[in-house]
Structure 1
Amino acid sequence: MTQHTDVVVVGGGQAGLAAGYHLRRQGLDHVVLDADAAPGGSWQHMWDSLHLFSPADHSSLPGRLMPARPGETYPDAGHVVDYLTDYEKRYDLPVQHGSRVEAVRRDGDRLLVEADSGTWRARAVISATGTWSRPFLPAVPGRSVFTGRQLHTVNYRRPADFAGRRVIVVGGGNSGAQIASDLALNGQVEVTWVTQRPPRFLPDDIDGRALFDVATARRRALDAGRGDSGGVASLGDIVAVPPVRAARDAGLLTAKPMFSRLTADGVRWGDGSRTGADAIVWCTGFRPALSHLAPLQLRGVRGYIATEGTRAVDEPRLHLLGYGDWTGPASATLIGVGRPARDAARDITALCARNRQGNPA
C-alpha cells in the first residue's frame, strides 16, 4: 500500500535530522527513511580514534547544543552518535531505521519514493544520503594483482588490526593524515604515507570553528558577486588535530609522492624502486550517494545535480542536503547543515502551500 505525506527525507544522519527538525517547525507532515538500523548516521561506522575538528559547542545541529564532556576538547565519534541519538528522540523525529530507499520517481504532481519497507507518495523529497556509502577507489595500475589486503577509509578501525604489518596509506586529505598518524603513533606498524601532491597542513591554531567561518564568508562573497577567495581550500588540506601534530612533529608523518603502480607484494615507484606492503589503505575520498535519484535523470557534469541553493534546478520538488558546498556552505558538517536545512524546509513549505491551493488531495 502506498502511503502519503508532504515530504520524504532520504537519510537519517545529521543532514536528515536537521531537515526533520525544520520540517517539524514548519508544520509539514514528513517521514525520514534511513538505511542504517540504528541512529548516528555515518559516525557509527568511523574508526576508533576519530575526533571532530571543533569543540562540542561548535558541532551542534539546530535547536540543541552538543553537550561537552569533561576533559574532552574535541568530541569523538561515539560522542557524536550519542548526540544524534538523543537529538532524534528529543524532537520525536519520525525516523524509520532499516528502510533503504531504492528509487525516487515522478508520479504526476507527486514524487514516488520506493523503499524496501514500502512506497511513499510525497509533494517533495529531501535527499540527505551523504557520501559515506560511496567510497572512491582510483584506477591505479596493478591494483588487481596486489595480493595483500586493500581497504578504504570506511573499512579502517584501529592500529591493532595491522600490528607487525607494513601498511601504505594513500591520500593527502584529513582522513589520510589521521589514519597514517594513528598507525605511526602505535609503534607496531611500519607506515608509508603517500600523497598525490605535497601535503598542506593548516596552521596549528585553526580548527573547525575557523573553517566554518571561512566557508561561510566565501559563499556570501560569491552570492554578492565578489571575487572567489578560495575558501577553506586556500588555507590547506589537513587540519592539524593533536594526533596529526604529534606524528608530524615526531618525524613520523613524512609523505612520499604517489607510486607508479601496485605489484603483487607492494608498490613500485617512478624511479623503479620497490617497497613491500601487506596492506593498502585508500583514503581517497567519496562521491555523492545519489543512485536512488537515477530515475529522475538529473545528473550532469561529473555526476552532480544542478542546484539553486538546495533545490534541484530541473526538479523543484527535490532538495539535496549535506553533500558539500554545492548544496550549501559547509553543509556536510554538523554546524553547517542547519541553515540550508532551514532554507529547504521554508522552500518546501511554500511549494506545498501552492500545491494545496491548486490540488488539495
Structure 2
Amino acid sequence: MTHTSQVVVIGGGQAGLAAGYHLRRLGIDFVILDAQTTPGGAWQHAWDSLRLFSPAAYSSLPGRLMPQQPGEPYPDVQHVVQYLADYEKRYELPVERPVGVLGVHRDGQHLRVETDSGTWHARAVISATGTWWRPFLPAVPGRADFEGRQLHTVEYGTSNDFSGQRVVVVGGGNSAAQIAADLAYDTQLTWVTQRPPRYLADDIDGRALFDTATARRRALDEGRTDTGGVASLGDIVAVPPVREARDRGLLKASPMFSRLVPGGVEWADGTRAETDAIIWCTGFRPTLSHLAPLQLRGLRGHIATEGTRAVDEPRLHLLGYGDWTGPASATLIGVGRPAREAAREISALLTAGTT
C-alpha cells in the first residue's frame, strides 16, 4: 500500500510528538509512524523505579504542562507514559502504529519511506527514533567468559529480580546511580565508575540543566568561550531515592575493574569480586539504521547537521538524539525548541517548493 504525506515523522515518543505539535500548528499535513503498539515511546519500557530528574512542571512538551503527580516531586515512569498518551490524544496527532520503518530513500522530489506495512512518499522526513533501542556495551576483556547474568539498563526491571544476589552496576550517570540506589538495600552491591561520582548540588534539577545546556549552545553559536554546559556541573542529579541511599552511605563507588573472569570481576591489582550479575549502565547510540540508504554517515557514523537539518539532505531533520540535534533535545523539556525550529524549516521548504 502506498501513501502520500507532506511530512513523515519516524518515532512516536516525546520527540516525535513535539514535532507533531509544531507541524500541526503550522497547518502541515503529516503522519507519525511509531513502531510501538501503544503510546509512551521508550518510557513504557523503562525500569519500575525510574524517576525523572525534574519536577513535572519542568518536564513538559510544548503546549501542555505535565500535571503534578500526587505525592511525587519527581514523576515516575507510569506518570510520564500517561502524560504522553494524553498529549497525543489532546492534540489529535495522527500516529500510525505499530509501523516499523525499514528504510528512507531518495525518490526524485520526494523521500520514500519503506515500512513493514506500506510505503510513504513525503517532501520531508523527521527522524525521531531516539537511542533507547541501541544500547552500548563497552569492549571489556573477559566479557564472554563471565558465567553470571549480564544485562544493560534497558533490560533492568526491578530490584526484586536480584534479591540477595551479588550485583555489579557499571556506570557513573543518572541511570547507574538510580539503579544502584534501587539495589542498595537488598543485594550485595558493587558500584563501579570510571571516575568518582560527580553529584550535582541537591537543589539542581532538570530545569537548571536545560538552562545550562541552552546557554552553552548560545555561547558556541556566538563564538564565545565554551561554558562546558551540563558536564561542568556534574553527572548525577540527586533525586530523592539517590540522595537517601547516598546519605546513608550505601552508594560507595569503586574504580572500574580491568576485566571479567568466570566468577566475577577483577581489578588491575588482582583483587576480585565474586558476582552473580552485572548491569551495564553504559549509555546508548542513536538509532539510525533506517537512514542507511541515504548514505549520510561520515566518520564514526555521525550525520552532519545544521541545527536539526541534515547537511547533505535538507529534506531530512534529526530530532531528539542529544545536543548535536539541539540543546538538551533528548529530554522532555528540551525537545520543544528544536522541534519548533525543524517544523519552521520544513514549512519554508514546502513553501519554496510550491513557488
The TM-score, its normalising length taken from structure 1, stands at: 0.97
Equivalences for 1:304-315 in 2 at 5 Å? Answer: 304-315=302-313
Aligned equivalents of 2:289, 2:275: Cα separation in 1: 34
Equivalences for 1:185-200 in 2 at 5 Å? Answer: 187-200=185-198
Query: Where does residue 34 of structure 2 map in the other structure?
Result: 34
1:185-226 deviations in Å (ceiling 9; x for gaps): xx2211000111111111111111111111111111111111
Query: Where does residue 178 of structure 2 map in the other structure?
Result: 178
Aligned equivalents of 1:152, 1:233: Cα separation in 2: 23
**Equivalences, count:** 355
Displaced runs of 4 or more, over 2 A: none
- What secondary structure does 1:47 align onto? coil
1:332 equivalent among 330, 340, 343 = 330
Query: Where does residue 141 of structure 1 map in the other structure?
Result: 141
Aligned equivalents of 1:241, 1:70: Cα separation in 2: 16
Residues 74, 239 of structure 2: 8 Å contact kept: no
User: Does residue 1:354 correspond to 2:352, yes or no?
Assistant: yes
Aligned equivalents of 1:163, 1:79: Cα separation in 2: 26
1:17-60 deviations in Å (ceiling 9; x for gaps): 00011111111111100111100011101111111111111111
Greater mean deviation of Cα atoms: 127-136 or 62-71: 62-71
The alpha carbon displacement at 1:70 in A equals 2.3
Residues 135, 283 of structure 2: 8 Å contact kept: yes
The alpha carbon displacement at 1:303 in A equals 1.7
Residues 308, 319 of structure 2: 8 Å contact kept: yes
Query: Where does residue 128 of structure 2 map in the other structure?
Result: 128
Query: Where does residue 228 of structure 2 map in the other structure?
Result: 230
Greater mean deviation of Cα atoms: 268-277 or 126-135: 268-277
Q: Which amino acid aligns with 1:260?
A: S
Q: Which amino acid aligns with 1:226?
A: R
Query: Where does residue 60 of structure 1 map in the other structure?
Result: 60
The alpha carbon displacement at 1:164 in A equals 1.2
Aligned equivalents of 1:247, 1:302: Cα separation in 2: 38
1:215 equivalent among 213, 218, 234 = 213
Query: Where does residue 242 of structure 2 map in the other structure?
Result: 244
The alpha carbon displacement at 1:294 in A equals 0.5
Equivalences for 1:254-273 in 2 at 5 Å? Answer: 254-273=252-271
The alpha carbon displacement at 1:305 in A equals 0.7
Aligned equivalents of 1:104, 1:116: Cα separation in 2: 12
Aligned equivalents of 1:57, 1:245: Cα separation in 2: 21
Aligned equivalents of 1:302, 1:204: Cα separation in 2: 36
- Give me the CA root mean square deviation: 0.8
Q: Which amino acid aligns with 1:247?
A: A
1:203 equivalent among 201, 204, 207 = 201
Aligned equivalents of 2:262, 2:69: Cα separation in 1: 47
- What secondary structure does 1:281 align onto? strand
1:343 equivalent among 329, 341, 344 = 341
1:216-266 deviations in Å (ceiling 9; x for gaps): 111111111111000000111111111111111111111111111111110
- What secondary structure does 2:124 align onto? strand
Residues 180, 251 of structure 2: 8 Å contact kept: yes
Which ranges of structure 2 fall in alignment gaps of 5 or more residues?
none
User: Does residue 1:289 correspond to 2:283, yes or no?
Assistant: no
Aligned equivalents of 1:263, 1:162: Cα separation in 2: 20
The alpha carbon displacement at 1:69 in A equals 2.3
- What secondary structure does 1:124 align onto? strand
The alpha carbon displacement at 1:106 in A equals 0.5
The alpha carbon displacement at 1:301 in A equals 2.9
Aligned equivalents of 1:301, 1:47: Cα separation in 2: 34
Q: Which amino acid aligns with 2:221?
A: D
The alpha carbon displacement at 1:6 in A equals 0.3
Aligned equivalents of 1:202, 1:285: Cα separation in 2: 19
What percentage of aligned pairs have identical amino acids? Answer: 75
Query: Where does residue 75 of structure 2 map in the other structure?
Result: 75
Query: Where does residue 115 of structure 1 map in the other structure?
Result: 115
The TM-score, its normalising length taken from structure 2, stands at: 0.99
Aligned equivalents of 1:263, 1:298: Cα separation in 2: 40
Q: Which amino acid aligns with 1:154?
A: V
Which ranges of structure 1 fall in alignment gaps of 5 or more residues?
none
Aligned equivalents of 2:103, 2:294: Cα separation in 1: 9
Query: Where does residue 303 of structure 1 map in the other structure?
Result: 301
Residues 57, 68 of structure 2: 8 Å contact kept: yes
Aligned equivalents of 2:26, 2:300: Cα separation in 1: 34
